[in-house]
Amino acid sequence: MAMDINQLIVDFLPHFVPQEATEESVFEILIEQQVPYALATQIILFVPVAFGRAYMRKFDLDFPVTFILNHPDNTTIEGLPFADEPVYNAAYELGVTIIDRGEWQDDFHFEVASWSSEMNVVSQALVEGYPLQSFVLQELHVNGDIGSRPISPLI
């Protein structure tokens, strides 16, 4: 069964919002809905990052275009491009579209974005009065089994 990544992201956004939600609780819901393990992990890891980056576009920050994958088997892969991640790209486009249409809701979309460590670091630095020009964002460390990389094209 082919899954529409865009629809899957839209359908699962509400699960990020409850105060008691955790990566584990959202993951369990995805698995219960027959979402494959690697795809469920990608949704949990990439959707908040993408929403956070879409939200923070207004700050004109230089986000790293690659990430570091820390796999549960203790292997690490460096320099993986976000551009090669369909879930990240779909979520980023969705976030940008929501913002550009004026449909962004702080009590919903911002709650998803707030799962992003980048979002939290930038917010904290702004609260502490650091100038945006001084921000140097590092590659994100993504922890989990997101499937084999690079992603092979469907044939």
pLDDT single digits (tens) 51-75: 999 999 999 899 999 999 999 999 9
Structure confidence by residue, pLDDT tens digits, 114-150: 999 999 999 999 999 999 888 888 999 999 999 988 7
Residue 51 confidence (pLDDT): 97
Residue 132 confidence (pLDDT): 85
Residues of the chain above pLDDT 90, percent: 86
DSSP for 71-83, written as a single string: -TTS-EEEEEEGG
Mean pLDDT of the chain: 92
* Burial bucket for residue 152 (CB in 10 Å: 0-12, 13-18, 19+): exposed
Residue 150 confidence (pLDDT): 72
Residue 2 confidence (pLDDT): 57
User: What's the distance, CA 32 to chain centroid?
Assistant: 21
Phi, psi dihedral angles at 18 (to 5 degrees): -55, 145
CA–CA gap between residue 87 and residue 74 (Å, rounded): 23
Q: Which two tokens stand for residue 98?
A: 């929501």
Determine the angle formed by the axes of helices 23-32 and 5-12, rounding to 10 degrees: 130
CA–CA gap between residue 112 and residue 67 (Å, rounded): 20
Sign of the CA dihedral with 16 first, then 115, 67, and 145 last: negative
Mean pLDDT of 9-29: 95
Does position 155 have pLDDT exceeding 50, yes or no?
Answer: no
DSSP for the chain, written as a single string: ----HHHHHHHHGGGG-STT--HHHHHHHHHHTT--HHHHHHHHHHHHHHHHHHHGGGG-----SEEEEE-TTS-EEEEEEGGG-HHHHHHHHHHHHHHHTT---TTTHHHHHTT-HHHHHHHHHHHTT--GGG--PPPEEEES---SSSPPPP-
Structure confidence by residue, pLDDT tens digits, 105-123: 999 999 999 999 999 999 9
